[in-house]
Amino acid sequence: MRIGFIGLGNMGAPMASNLAKAGHDVFGFDVTHATADGVTGVEAVADAVVDMDAVVTMLPNGDILRSVYDEIVPVGKSGSIFIDCSTVDVESARAVHSLANEKSILSIDAPVSGGIGGAAAGTLTFMAGGADAAFEKALPLFEIMGQKTVHCGEGGAGQAAKICNNMILGISMIGVCEAFALGSKLDLDPQKLFDVVSTSSGSCWSVNTYCPVPGVGPSSPADNDYKPGFAAELMLKDLLLSQDAAQLVDADTPMGARASQLYQTFVDEHGTGKDFSAFLPLLLKTARGTLDG
Ligand code: NAD
C-alpha cells in the first residue's frame, strides 16, 4: 500500500517505520520536518495524502486533528482509509469521521495503549471505532503496528474505550499509591504489602505490573527514578478527556473528577516528565488532609 503518515513524534515515528519495514511505501509529514527510518519525508501535508491508499494521523490533540482533516479530506482519494491513532476527545473523533465519510473516505478512530516501547516493538493495542468496512481495511495495518486490536463499535468508540480504560487506571493508581503510603506510615514493609495485595482482592495492574514502590514487584518506572513510562501529564490529558466526555453525555464520574484534580495538582507542583506512579512519593510527604478536595 501507499501510506501517508502525519505526525512523526514519539509514537508516530516508530509506528511509521514499522509500516515501512513491513514493505509498504510510507510517506511521512510532520510540521517539524521530523523523519523516521524507512519513511520518505514530504514537504507538504498534501503529499502524504494525494493518491494514498491509507493515511494515518498521530497528533497531539483534537483541535490539531480537526485542522489537519480540514486540509487533507479535500485531497484524499475516494475509497481510501483514514486512520486516526491520536488520543483526542470523542466529539473531535466523531467530527472528523463525518468529514471523511462525506467525501467517500473510509475512516476509523484507533487510539493506542502501550506507549513508546509498544510503538517501537510493534506491540500496541488498538481500540478501534468505525464501520465494519473501514475496520477490515485498517486491520492489516494494525496487525503490523500492534499485537491486539478490538473493534469497539461505530465512529468514536475507540476514543470512548481508551478514556474509560485510562480513567480506571488513573483512579486505581491513586488508590494504590494511597494504600502504599498508608502502609509505610503504619511501618508495614512494602514488599510484604505487595505480596499480600498482588494475590488478594486489591490486585490490579497498578500493583501487579507497575508497582509504584521502588524495588518492589516487576521492574517499573519507580525503579528508574520515576522517569516515564507513562507521564503524569499524559494521564492528566486522558483524565480531562474522560471528564469532557462525561460532561457531553451527563455521566456522573466522581472518582474520575477527583483523579483529574489530583493529577492537575501533581503536574502544577512537579511539572512534566515524571511518571504517573510518582504520586506515591508525593503522598509519602504530605500530611493528612493536605490533598483533600
Ligand atoms: P508527540 O508530541 O511526540 O508527537 C506529535 C507530533 O505531531 C509531533 O512531532 C508534532 O510536531 C506533530 N504535529 C503537530 N501538529 C502537526 C500538524 N498540524 N501536522 C503534522 N504534524 C503535526 O506526541 P506522541 O507522544 O507521539 O503522542 C501522539 C498521540 O498519541 C497523542 O494524542 C498522545 O496522547 C497519544 N499517546 C501517546 C502515548 C505516549 O506514551 N507517548 C501513549 C498512547 C497514546
Give the pLDDT confidence of 75-120 residue by residue, as tens digits: 999 999 999 999 999 999 999 999 999 999 999 999 999 888 899 9
21 catalytic per annotation: no
Q: Which residue has the cell 494525494?
A: 50
Q: How far apart are CA 160 and CA 88, in angstroms?
A: 10
**How far does residue 11's CA lie from ligand 1's centre (Å)?**
7
The number of angstroms, rounded, from the C-alpha of 7 to the middle of its chain's C-alpha atoms is 14
DSSP 43: S
Sign (positive/negative) of CA torsion 279, 280, 286, 291? positive
Q: Nine-digit cell at 15? A: 509506528
Q: Which atom of ligand 1 is nearest to the CA of 8?
A: 9
Which residues form the pocket of ligand 1, taking CB atoms under 6 Å from any ligand atom? 6-12, 29-32, 34, 58-60, 64, 68, 86-87, 112, 115-116, 230, 234, 237
Mean pLDDT of 236-259: 97
Q: Which of 5, 6, 11 for mutating ligand 1's site (highest number of atoms within 8 Å of CB)?
A: 11
Q: How far apart are CA 81 and CA 125, in angstroms?
A: 19
Q: Which residues pair with 153 in a beta bridge?
A: 129
Q: Nine-digit cell at 268? A: 502544577
Classified as helix, coil or strand, 39 is coil
DSSP 192: H
What percentage of residues in the chain have a pLDDT greater than 70? 100
Classified as helix, coil or strand, 153 is strand
Q: How far apart are CA 58 and CA 148, in angstroms?
A: 18
What is the structure's pLDDT at 115?
87
Is the pLDDT assigned to residue 293 strictly greater than 80? no
Q: How far apart are CA 75 and CA 50, in angstroms?
A: 6
Mean pLDDT of 5-32: 97
Residue 142, C-beta contacts closer than 8 angstroms, at least 6 positions apart: 110, 126, 128, 149
Q: How far apart are CA 55 and CA 241, in angstroms?
A: 24
Question: Which residue intervals of the chain are DSSP H helices?
Answer: 12-21, 62-72, 90-102, 115-121, 132-145, 157-185, 190-197, 205-208, 232-249, 254-270, 279-285
Mean pLDDT of 229-257: 96
**How far does residue 183's CA lie from ligand 1's centre (Å)?**
38
Q: Ligand 1, atom 42: nearest CA belongs to which residue?
A: 115
pLDDT tens-place string over residues 50-61: 999 999 999 999
Mean pLDDT of 218-241: 95
Assess contact for 275 and 231: CB atoms under 8 A: yes
Q: Ligand 1, atom 1: nearest CA belongs to which residue?
A: 9
pLDDT tens-place string over residues 158-168: 999 999 999 99
Nearest CA to 166 among 125, 119, 194, 131? 125
Is the pLDDT assigned to residue 33 strictly greater than 90? yes
Q: Nine-digit cell at 288? A: 493528612
Mean pLDDT of 132-147: 98
Q: Which of 162, 192, 274, 285 is catalytic?
A: 162
What is the structure's pLDDT at 261?
98
What percentage of residues in the chain have a pLDDT greater than 90? 97
pTM, two decimal places: 0.94
Torsion of CA 151, 157, 163, 166, to 10 degrees: -20
What is the structure's pLDDT at 117?
87
